Every structure is written in structure tokens, then in C-alpha cells.
Amino acid sequence: MCGIVAIHDPVTTHAELGHQMLDRVRHRGPDGYGSRTVGDTWLGHTRLAIVDLADGDQPLGSDDGHWVVANGEIYNHSDLREDAGYAFRTRSDSEAALAAARSGSDDDLAELRGMFAFVVAHADGTVLAARDPLGVKPLYWVRDGSMTAFASELGAFDPQTRPHVEEFPPGFRWSPESGLARFRDLRTDVAPVESRDDAIAAIRSSFVDSVRYRMMGDVPVGVFLSGGLDSSLVAAVMARYADPSRGPIHSFAAGTKDSTDLAAARRVADHLGLEHHERVFGPDEVVAVLPDVVGCMESYEPSLVRSGVPNYLLSELASTTVKVVLTGEGADELFAGYDHLRAIDHEQLAEELIRSVEGLHNLNLQRCDRVTMAHGLEARVPFLDRSLVYLAQRIPIEWKLPRERGQEKALLREAFAGWLPDDILWRPKEQFGDGSGMADVMQREAYRVAADRDWQAVRVAGLPAPRSREELAYQRMFADHLEGVHPRVLGRFATA
């Protein structure tokens, strides 16, 4: 996991600008800093060392003069090496991205299994950029005259440039010659699973494989544990398949003193034999850290901020012990875990679920990436492996609706019967901001963060009317972070 910057310009070089931009995402990679001009492209990389600690520094080059800067992880890089027809020079998983881009084949890009955003350049002036199909890893870009610039975060760009910045679309690649083109779609029309028992078995097998892939690395790997179903299942699989020689699995939980999440997480950790860590926070800490959270997330959406604060504090804690954590993002979108989905017509629900998965890069995945990388910590999301995304679409929608005990995600719970205590396996869902105690804190503290007597009459230029006093406060923090952006375009980055 890293921060990347790339500036392509056939007319002039931009090394000074590149270094300025790279310095602004230095928090994403505290272990290394490298740059190189390759043909018409300046490449910059700030590294969080996870795989091939000795030889994985970037920009990373090939024997024939291609160079890459990459952010993310390619989990199947070992499998791809066997059939690549390419002489690998390192053990770095990022070299699999370099090999795929060098081949010029969209099929090779589509075979990359993981989370990634990368730019590859050659001395002959060619360049290619690509982002993973779910957009787990962020990438922004701007095209200004002869210059095309890329960066991992919006804040990397100069204030005068930000009004023109766009999000690079997930699942696409770009080159000056061919423009934007999709190399992998999230949607599938493969035949439905034939029986409920087959669906349960396939869910269990696919999820176990996905978690095991994401335990890859040459550094300690931990888990964010809320005590809810999704993160508890991640922890259960990790505990079952952990390599004892690498030490215990570390789990991390955050919340207010009496929050339900902390109590449930302790129970899961005790049951699984994890080395558990807690971050207990109070109202003063929440109010103090809010500007940092809104700024690093580059979003003011209240539900994201409420969940972002505990995760931000949790990341700060975890980064002192591990460099990688697995999280439970994505399960609700795949298996209809939200209460509001129950009211949607069955024929429309399948489309709503895939649309919600496609939109995660602007919501939960954005929050997950930013709050962890603010502390040089890599977050991995096993529920969003492509095998599970495709499998979920093959499961008839009726099987995803509440059945056993009236609980959502019954299929997922049934798939792991016996892996967790029954009260945890069937624990009712709470939003992370609720279970951690953040929602209660912000209801009490809203007057401190937005003290306006008539807050409903106050608006931040360029943004929608705030729906609450709390949202107004976050909008102000968001605008401060993006200082210099023209009001008419500020709203484009509300959830981008």
C-alpha cells in the first residue's frame, strides 16, 4: 500500500510539481520515497512496505524499460508468475501489475486479483494507468493542456488545479492513444446457483479463500473487530488458518466506554484466542479529531464521518502493532444486510445491490482507505474479492431476504455455523457509528461543532443545504481541507 503520483506531458517535465504532490501523500507510505522520469512521464512513489521488503522499492522497472508506480496489493501475483512469459526481477506483487500492463492485453489486466491503482511508463513516451474494478484503491487525475497528472488523493493536487480534478473510474485503463477503456466489469450473467445448500457451500469456500489470500505479506497482519457478524467472520477465518510461527492474530476495537461494539468484540477475541487491543474514546477526543477525519476522508457525509472517527482512532492504535488489517466492508451490499433493503421490490433489489457495490468506492471504501492510510496502515477487504462479488449475483434474491430468526444475511450466518458463538453469529446488525457509541456522542456534541443559532439558514458555498447541524460542521471542515476550490465544483467531491 502506498501513495503514487504520475505526471505525463510530452511538452515539458514536471519534476518539481511531482515532488510537491508526492509530499502531500507522504503519510500513505512512511517506509520509502522514490521518483524517476521515464520518457514523457514523471513517476513518484511513497512506500508502505508489505511484500518483498528488500527489493520492492518503486518506481519498479523491467528489463525492457517499463517502469511502474503502484498502490495496493495483487493477491494472485504468485499464480500469475507461472504463466506470465515475463522475467520477474523481484518478489513484489506490484511487478505482476507491471507485467500485465507491459503485455498490452486487457485480458491480462482483468486477471489481476486484488486492489490496485497504478501507472506504467516507458522511455518511448507510452504510458498506461489502471484502477481495480471496485475502486478499493483511490486514483484521481486531471487533464490540463498537454499534461495529464495522477495522484492517490485529491489533496495531492495544487489548489488551482483541484477544480479540474476528476476521479479515475474503477475497472478502466487509460493511455493517450486509446483513451479510457473498461477492462473488467463487476456484473455477470452466469447461471444462478441451483440450490440453497450449494450457495452456502460456495459462500464458505469463496470467503475462506479470499481471507487467506489477504493474509499474504511479509509483515504482521491484524483485523478490525467490531463484534458484528462481518468482522467476526473475518477474524474467525484468520484464527483458523493463521501460521502459528508468525505469532498471534492481533484484533483491534474502538468505542465509547459502554459501547456494545467493545463488549461484543471482547467476546469474539476471547473465543478465538486473539491478542486484543482497545481504543476507548470520549466526547472531547471526538470533537478534537473531527477536522482531521473529515480532511483525510475528503468527505462530509455524516454517516461516513461517524464511522470514520472510530476507525481513524483505531487505525492510529493498530499502526503501532501491525502494518495490515482486514476489515468487514462489503458484506451488507452483497447479501442485503441493510434494513432499508427489505422494502425494495424483489425484482429491483438485485439491481440495487449491484449498484450499491459499484458505488462503494465513493463511500465505505473511501473512508476505509483514507482513515487507515492517514496512519500508514493498509486495510484489506475480503468480502469484496471478485469471486464473492460474482457469486453473490448468482444467488437468487429470495435466498438473501430474512429467514432464520428474522435476521438479515441468513445465508452468510448459516455458512459459518459453529465458527462463532451463536449469540455473535446471530447478533442483530448495528451501524458502526451506533455500536461504537459515536452516534450518541455526536447527538450531544452537535452544538459544539456548529454553534450557529439558526444553522438551517447557513450554507457553505458550492455545497447542498445541510440536513443537520452536524452536517454543517462537517461541510465547513471539508471546505477548509479543499481551500481554493471554486464553489461550483466543490460539491463534486462531497463523496469522491
- Cα–Cα nearest to 45, from 13, 19, 64: 19
pLDDT at 493 over 90: no
On whether both 175 and 294 belong to a single domain, the answer is: no
On whether both 385 and 259 belong to a single domain, the answer is: yes
Mean pLDDT value across residues 85-102: 90
pLDDT at 486 over 80: no
Mean pLDDT value across residues 449-477: 91
Q: Which residues contact 122 (CB under 8 A, 6 or more apart)?
A: 38, 39, 65, 66, 67
d(CA 229, CA 494): 29
- Cα–Cα nearest to 95, from 138, 133, 58: 58
Among candidate residues 113, 148, 182, the one where a domain is terminated:
182
What's the DSSP call for residue 461?
T
On whether both 149 and 298 belong to a single domain, the answer is: no
Q: Is residue 273 part of a domain?
A: yes
On whether both 360 and 429 belong to a single domain, the answer is: yes
Which residue shows C-alpha cell 503485455? Answer: 103
Q: How confident is the model at residue 1 (pLDDT cuts 50, 70, 90)?
A: low
The more confident residue out of 172 and 52 is 172
Among candidate residues 126, 156, 182, the one where a domain is terminated:
182
Q: Is residue 169 part of a domain?
A: yes
* Least confident range of 8-22, 302-316, 439-453: 439-453
pLDDT at 489 over 80: no
Q: Is residue 382 part of a domain?
A: yes
Tell me, what's the pLDDT at 432?
54
Share the mean pLDDT of the chain: 92
HSE-up of residue 376 (Cα within 13 Å, Cβ side): 16
> Could you report the per-residue pLDDT of 242-289, keeping only the tens digit for each?
998 888 999 999 998 988 889 999 999 999 999 999 999 999 999 999
On whether both 167 and 213 belong to a single domain, the answer is: no
On whether both 160 and 244 belong to a single domain, the answer is: no
On whether both 428 and 463 belong to a single domain, the answer is: no
* Least confident range of 36-45, 281-290, 358-367, 442-451: 442-451
Tell me, what's the pLDDT at 496?
44
On whether both 91 and 207 belong to a single domain, the answer is: no
Q: Are 51 and 86 in contact (CB under 8 A)?
A: no
d(CA 150, CA 118): 9
> Could you report the per-residue pLDDT of 425-460, keeping only the tens digit for each?
998 876 655 667 787 888 888 888 888 988 988 999
> Could you report the per-residue pLDDT of 67-78, keeping only the tens digit for each?
999 999 999 998
Q: Is residue 223 part of a domain?
A: yes
On whether both 202 and 296 belong to a single domain, the answer is: yes
Tell me, what's the pLDDT at 49?
84
Q: How confident is the model at residue 325 (pLDDT cuts 50, 70, 90)?
A: very high
Tell me, what's the pLDDT at 199?
97
Number of structural domains in the chain: 3
Q: Are 228 and 427 in contact (CB under 8 A)?
A: yes
- What CATH code is carried by the domain that includes residue 386? 3.40.50.620
Residue span of the structural domain in which 476 resides: 457-493
On whether both 474 and 390 belong to a single domain, the answer is: no
Q: Is residue 188 part of a domain?
A: no
Q: Is residue 171 part of a domain?
A: yes
- pTM for the model: 0.93
Q: How confident is the model at residue 87 (pLDDT cuts 50, 70, 90)?
A: confident
The residues carrying an active-site annotation are 2
In the chain, the percentage of residues whose pLDDT exceeds 90 is: 74
- What CATH code is carried by the domain that includes residue 39? 3.60.20.10
* 466: exposed, middle or buried (Cβ count in 10 Å: 0-12, 13-18, 19+): buried
Tell me, what's the pLDDT at 491?
64
On whether both 436 and 468 belong to a single domain, the answer is: no
Tell me, what's the pLDDT at 462?
85
Among candidate residues 149, 182, 215, the one where a domain is terminated:
182
Q: How confident is the model at residue 494 (pLDDT cuts 50, 70, 90)?
A: low
In the chain, the percentage of residues whose pLDDT exceeds 70 is: 95
Q: Is residue 92 part of a domain?
A: yes
Please report the beta strands in 75-214, taking only residues with DSSP state E, as ranges in sequence order. 114-122, 127-131, 140-144, 147-151, 166-167, 172-175, 179-182
Tell me, what's the pLDDT at 404?
55
Q: Which is it for strands 250-255 and 275-280: parallel, antiparallel or unpaired?
A: parallel
On whether both 261 and 385 belong to a single domain, the answer is: yes
Tell me, what's the pLDDT at 447?
82
The more confident residue out of 486 and 392 is 392
Long-range contacts of 18-21 (CB under 8 A, 24+ apart): 18/42, 18/44, 19/44, 20/158, 21/149, 21/151, 21/156, 21/157, 21/158
* Least confident range of 119-123, 128-132, 464-468, 492-496: 492-496
